[in-house]
Amino acid sequence: MNVQPPQCLVAPLNVPSKLLMGPGPSNSPLRVHYAMMKPLLGHLHPEFTKIMDEVKDGLRYIFQTRAEVVCCVSGTGHAGMETTICNLLEPSNVILVLQNGIWGERAADMARRHDADVRIIEKGPGEVFTMGEIEAAVQQHQPAVVFAVQGESSTGALQPLEGLGHICHKHGALLAVDTVASLGGTPFFMDAWGVDVVYTGTQKVLSAPPSMAPIAFSDRAMARVKARKTPVRSFYSDILWLANYWGCDGTPRKYHHTGPISSVYALREALSMACEEGLESLWSRHRSCAQRLYSGLEELGLKPLIADPANRTPTVTTIIVPEGVEWMKVTKYFMEKYLVEISGGLGPSAGKVWRVGLMGHNCTPDNVDLVLKIMKEALAQPAIRSNL
Amino acid sequence: MNVQPPQCLVAPLNVPSKLLMGPGPSNSPLRVHYAMMKPLLGHLHPEFTKIMDEVKDGLRYIFQTRAEVVCCVSGTGHAGMETTICNLLEPSNVILVLQNGIWGERAADMARRHDADVRIIEKGPGEVFTMGEIEAAVQQHQPAVVFAVQGESSTGALQPLEGLGHICHKHGALLAVDTVASLGGTPFFMDAWGVDVVYTGTQKVLSAPPSMAPIAFSDRAMARVKARKTPVRSFYSDILWLANYWGCDGTPRKYHHTGPISSVYALREALSMACEEGLESLWSRHRSCAQRLYSGLEELGLKPLIADPANRTPTVTTIIVPEGVEWMKVTKYFMEKYLVEISGGLGPSAGKVWRVGLMGHNCTPDNVDLVLKIMKEALAQPAIRSNL
């Protein structure tokens, strides 16, 4: 044997219990962990495909859609983004990306890799697009696809979407929306808003472990896929195969890939909890906890990056790091003293803000109060204000 | 609310306990399930990246490699195949696929989607390729990449690989090997055999739930990737990004995607168990259980599809369905009376064979004896032999 077994694997797996109040993943409730204790089934056993069907129905509720093609990509949020891009776009198709943070950048990167013609309209960190601005850009670029991000977790911005589907369809474009960091925490209506493709992650408001990307395609989006002249470049992410495996196309399920069985159990449990609570309650819980956070921050003299509360996603709040404060010393204080995660900025907001997540299981008044208490304590430390 | 919460999610998650003796997934031991009870961490927290490092070391042992780039794709086995194809091939590059079952077919499908020039040499179900046949084809087609499957789970064939790397390198080709259904159950030596890319799944011999595809790239393979003239078409599967996230490239980890935290815990535990047992013991346990199965089948008058035992992977045994027996009635008997899964054929072997998996946690003499006992019972049922 040339390579010997590593000594590091002799020690038992040791994981500290942290409270994850960053932009995700959030902690999973015990019920969701217990679901993963259930024994494995085959990926085409009838007991398992029944669970997949239940997951689909739960997702239709969360997405607020009656679309037939509702399923999961067997990969995390970015896999949902890539599935959207690679199914909707053919080489030289125009995609218009509404870019006001890192997710727009990534979608543009993926679209370029697919040889699409990428057009971008850009806004600064924390800003959102008006319907007038978007319609003007759609008129100018005549895109095949418009890509928007509902909750831009790098900046905390909440992009208004109502009416956007109508604008896109009027000009022959499809509307694709990233809701990874927002779905379940703020209203979203796939059908009523005319969204053609939407995807999310399991590890944010749904509070299951990261592992899959729930995704839905409208009939209009599926018609576009079926009319492609070139094959979808990814077999693993080909929505026609995925839709068949998930029982969405009315034909018997064929073996596509081996689904992540335990992760589907966990998502089923998370969806069951979301259905028990109800979307209205989820949305108002997120709104009121975010409001509690805003008020507490104001008392501490801290300013949100986004002035207008209507433009903030309740799931991720970005807080301007005051002058003279080293942001990383604060996040370290949270982690080292309390095992609580809050995070720094990302992409355009790096170094400028803290990001506090209030998502799903972790979105409670007690957790808001704890974050505020630690923040107050941290900012009072002389070492943290040493630059003043 | 247009779409109401579905009633089906009110019922608790209910999963029967089955013994999975098909070609995968196999059952996970409780230790592996317990690992998924551990609390979530952030995907870049130092405690988590340490666990990733431990997983890498465990994988280096299982792959028998000292390669730097050893990591996991955050998707199941097919995602490993697609990562291999999309990183190694650029449009019009020639790939030679050794096709003797469904996995070769799928690799060819993926390569065509990437606009590669696909050349195939083919063998019937259960047959393997000789080194002479492969070398002649390599000489003829001058491929950039040769793709082989070690354990062809659709037919039970075990492709010999020793010496193949040398043949490929002599002609300027890279060697990529699928070991999803074989790794850990039969000898494999990435470095000694000159394999450039190898991937596997978590749900077979490793006996963790399906969710990730462990993968390794040789230095030679990485040099090829770095010399690409076109970007890798997938961002999610771009090995340069993955290698960085997994701490394999000597530069600080950047945020690529959110890793499947709980699945990494489970894999860490599964690798820990594999290291405790040791590869020699794993290989001999699989060999001796397979031998026990072969002997028992002979006593029952059943014939393996593959005549030469040296060409059979011990992990998946294909058994010819005798004339007058309806294969599906037998698999149903196993499942309905005993909650034991054995499976029918797949692709070229569909309708012709049963497939019995002996993998990892489920590969025990007791399980072999149970399968044989049920098979004997099933074949004695008049209803199953009704066609005679």
How many Cα atoms within 13 Å fall on the side-chain side of residue B249? Answer: 16
**Residue from B33, B48, B195, B235 to probe the interface with A (highest A Cβ count within 10 Å):** B235
pLDDT band (50, 70, 90) for residue B147: very high
Instruction: Encode pLDDT of B275-317 as tens digits.
Output: 999 999 999 999 999 999 999 999 999 999 999 999 999 999 9
* Average pLDDT for B22-45: 97
Q: How far apart are CA B72 and CA B239, in angstroms?
A: 10
A 177-216 near B (Cβ less than 8 A): 189, 191-192, 201, 203, 209-211
Residue A328 has pLDDT above 60, yes or no: yes
pLDDT at A386 over 90: no
Can you give the pLDDT at residue A348? 85
Note the pLDDT tens digit of each residue in A54-71: 999 999 999 999 999 999
**pLDDT digits over A82-119, tens only?**
999 999 999 999 999 999 999 999 999 999 999 999 99
What residues have CB less than 8 Å from A247, skipping those under 6 apart?
A: A49, A52, A53, A56, A253
Of all residues in chain B, the percent with pLDDT exceeding 70 is: 99
pLDDT at B254 over 60: yes
Return the bridge partners of A344, or none: A354
CB contact under 8 A, A280 and B1: yes
Please tell me which of the candidates B53, B235, B343 has its beta carbon nearest to residue A82.
Answer: B235
Is 90 exceeded by the pLDDT of residue A388?
Answer: no
Q: What mean pLDDT do residues B100-104 have?
A: 97
User: Rounded to whole angstroms, how far apart are CA atoms A87 and B360?
Assistant: 37
For residue A276, count other CB atoms closer than 10 A to its CB.
Answer: 11
The candidate with the shortest Cα–Cα distance to B277, out of B198, B183, B361, is B361
Bridge partners, residue B320, by sequence: B353
| pLDDT reported for residue B291 | 98
Which whole number is the average pLDDT over B227-246?
98
Least confident of A380-384, B20-24, B235-239: A380-384
Question: A10: which 2 tokens?
Answer: 């002799």
Length of chain B (residues)? 388
* pLDDT computed for residue A387 by the predictor: 54
Q: Is the pLDDT of residue B238 over 90?
A: yes
User: Which pLDDT tens digit goes with each residue over B183-232?
Assistant: 999 999 999 999 999 999 999 999 999 999 999 999 999 999 999 999 99
Residue pLDDT, tens place only, B347-370: 888 999 999 999 999 999 999 999
Identify the pLDDT of residue A1: 85
- What is the predicted pLDDT for the residue at B386? 63
In the three-class reduction of DSSP (H, G, I as helix; E, B as strand; rest coil), residue A169 is classed as: helix
Cα(A95)–Cα(A98) distance, integer angstroms: 10
Contacts with A208 (C-beta within 8 Å, 6 or more apart), sequence order? A28, A32, A202, A263, A266, A267, A269, A270
pLDDT at position B385 is: 80
Structural contact between residues B271 and B264, judged by C-beta atoms closer than 8 angstroms? no
Q: What ipTM was estimated for this complex?
A: 0.97
Q: Hey, is the C-beta of B275 within 8 angstroms of any chain A C-beta?
A: yes
The mean pLDDT value of chain A amounts to 97
Q: What is the Cα A229 distance to its own chain's centre?
A: 31
Tell me what pLDDT residue A215 has.
98
How far the first Cα of chain A sits from its last, in Å, is 59
A162-183 confidence digits (pLDDT tens): 999 999 999 999 999 999 999 9
Lowest mean pLDDT segment, chosen from A233-242, B98-107, B346-355? B346-355
Q: How far apart are CA B311 and CA B309, in angstroms?
A: 5
- Please report which confidence band the pLDDT of residue B1 belongs to, taking 50, 70 and 90 as the band edges: confident
pLDDT of A208-235, one tens digit each? 999 999 999 999 999 999 999 999 999 9
Mean local confidence (pLDDT), B243-267: 97
Cα separation, B69 vs B74, in Å, equals 15
A77-88 vs A102-113: helix axis angle to the nearest 10? 50
Q: A188 to chain B nearest CA, in Å?
A: 10
The confidence score (pLDDT) of residue B387 equals 54
The confidence score (pLDDT) of residue A53 equals 98
> Which chain B residues touch A189 with a CB distance below 8 Å?
2
What is the C-alpha separation between B237 and B102, in angstroms, rounded? 22
Tell if the CB–CB gap between B258 and A78 is shorter than 8 Å: yes
B91 interface with A at CB cutoff 8 Å: no
Q: Residues B52-88: pLDDT tens digits? A: 999 999 999 999 999 999 999 999 999 999 999 999 9
Look at the alpha carbons of B363, B368, B374, B375 in this order and tell me if their dihedral is positive or negative. Answer: positive
